[in-house]
Amino acid sequence: MRTQLVAIGNSRGIRIPAALIRECGLEGEVELEIRDGGLHIKASNNPRAGWEAAVQKALADDPQAGEVGFAEDAVENQFDTDEWTW
């Protein structure tokens, strides 16, 4: 497929057909890379995508997962019993 570069202020742009955008899953922010003498456009990698859903699933699977505990409720270890002093 061929397309033309178009002037956008001092820059240049291209028009990408909607079918290609859908097929590649592009939306919102994208990443550009120079690769093998060409321009590679890919969906932006959001490292936190899906975190909220994963936390909600974990809380649903284990109702106690969301409870806040206190350090004094933790299991004692040798340091706590032999070496720590107030």
Domains of the chain: 1-66 (2.10.260.10)
Write out the two tokens for 11.
């820059």
Q: Which amino acid is at 5?
A: L
At 5, the pLDDT band (50, 70, 90 cuts) reads: very high
CA geometry: angle at 58 spanning 54 and 63, to 5°?
Answer: 150
- Return d(Cα 82, Cα 85) in angstroms, integer: 9
pLDDT digits (tens, 9 = 90+) for 21-73: 999 888 888 999 999 999 999 988 777 778 888 888 888 887 676 666 666 66
Q: In sequence order, what DSSP letters do the residues of 21-48 get, joined into one string? A: HHHHT--S-EEEEEETTEEEEEE---TT
pTM as predicted? 0.46
**Is the CB of residue 71 less than 8 Å from the CB of residue 53?**
no
